[in-house]
Amino acid sequence: MLLRMPGQSLFASCINEEMSWGPQEYLTARLVDSLEVSNWMFLKANSGEGATDIPFPESVPRPGEFEEAQHEASAPEMTPAAAIAAFFANPFQI
């Protein structure tokens, strides 16, 4: 069951992803990002010269932000013209 706070609607969230988050969620994500970067800086500053490299933390994904790696559009497969013609020649054949 999806619960919505006053002022938010499921319809608005489906139309515009940014409507699914309010100010509290954005502030919480910002705090989490700041804490991650702070921890990363602490670890980088206090690790030795021979230590393995620590990757920079990724930010919390926000609604409406698209990651190109996850949303790569593949080329659509085209139906052959003969198959389309055969379908429309006898549309009731399943």
At 1, is the pLDDT very low, low, confident or very high (cuts 50, 70, 90)? very low
pTM: 0.53
Q: How confident is the model at residue 69 (pLDDT cuts 50, 70, 90)?
A: very low
Distance, CA of 59 to CA of 30 (rounded, Å)? 8
Please check the confidence at residue 89 and state whether its pLDDT lies above 80.
yes
How many angstroms separate the CA atoms of 93 and 79, rounded? Answer: 17
Structure tokens at 72: 């790569």
Q: Is residue 20 a contact partner of residue 63, using CB atoms and an 8 Å limit?
A: yes
| pLDDT, greater one: 91 or 4 | 91
CB atoms within 10 A of CB 29: 16
